[in-house]
Structure 1
Amino acid sequence: MDSVDQRQQTDIERLIAHCQELEDRVEEMEASILQADERSRDRAVALRTLLRDDKQMDQFLAQDDGLLELPPEEGMKPWDVFRHSFTLALSKGYLRTTDTLRNKLMVSEWELGRRPIALQIGVSRFEAFCAANRVELDFDAISEIYSDPSDLRPITDPYLRMQARAIITQADAEERVKAFDACTTEARRLASQFSEAEFLSKIIPDNGIIDALARFVSPGRA
């Protein structure tokens, strides 16, 4: 075998090695896509289970399930008509999902955590106001208000009591707005992550085909 044949043989072997490497990479990518698909479906199922705890949302999701189960003859409708009705239904579900998640987050984040802190912030601002203006107020009275910010009876002066309520209420409102914004952002993130509407819009292009859509919304696919 001359040098030319040896070089050709070497090139062929190198090409075979590259092809094998490419095939291995494709298999790894397919496995990764399959795992991501399974995780997305598991998360969607978990979210739907959480939302079904709410009776009103349970009725809405049941209605959505009925909309997604199309009779065979409906599969031949023009894509634009089908996509419009499908997107409309799931967009409504996305908004309902965001609202429900935000309400649940507000209960846990605000009522159980941030509101007591907000009230303490309000009392501390009132104490700073009294110190800056040299208001004659007993130290024990301030301590009692720290223990229960909703009870302002330790303050005997009516005008000073109104000042305390105004400062505490303002702090409460400011922190509530922050909590609401944070919960709204998190609810939108979760709704976008788990929403079937967002999932389908990323996988199926605007000019997608009915077969591809049927694959992802078929009753046997969770």
Structure 2
Amino acid sequence: MSPRRKRTAILISGGGSNMRALIEAARDPAYPAEITLVISNRPDAGGLVYAKAAGIAASVVDHKIYAGREEFERSMQALLEIHRIELVCMAGFLRMVTPWFIGQWAGRLLNIHPALLPAFRGLHTHERALAEGVKIHGCTVHFVVPAMDEGPIVAQAAVPVLDSDTPESLGRRVLAQEHIIYPAALARVAGNCVTIQGNRTFDVDPAATPNPMVMPPIVPSDA
């Protein structure tokens, strides 16, 4: 008998391209996570349409109608509990979450960031990478902790910075890698293949399951 798939929710604010990558990966019955809920803080988020078309429950918790962050998060938490969610993935969710919410999901809340953390925390990562003159850029999947863009790293992928790059061209190549490593990272977490020790993650059995998620630089065409 196949192990039970973990019920997973995705938090979005927009079109949800990483959400789509996760949903597509989870169509495989052997994938260890089942996407059962999508929540957006914006009623006009395009990702809601995609989720509904995929047969996934899609809900709006509009942050604008709440007096504060925790009130907003408690409404999200109620939905997550109703749907018996076990893991949560933030995918373009443009809200800072409070320590209260993070505490509810410690070790079960993932985020993807468009940079090789700990470099370039925060916004405008591609512009900043070009301004700093780095030769390697990329993306990171990590567990969420109260400090912004910190927490144990599950997966990273690197792309070279080309002389011809603009923030847009660099961002497109990074996004393509996000769509690869986020489903792979979720699979490892949902499959209980990752353990957290301090601010690091380790394979549960490194000899049996070497971690493929720290990727060497990928040399793509200049998209």
Q: TM-score, normalised by structure 1?
A: 0.22
Which is higher, the Rg of structure 1 or of structure 2? 1
Higher strand content, 1 or 2 = 2
Structure with the bigger RCO (C-alpha within 8 Å, sep 6+) is 1
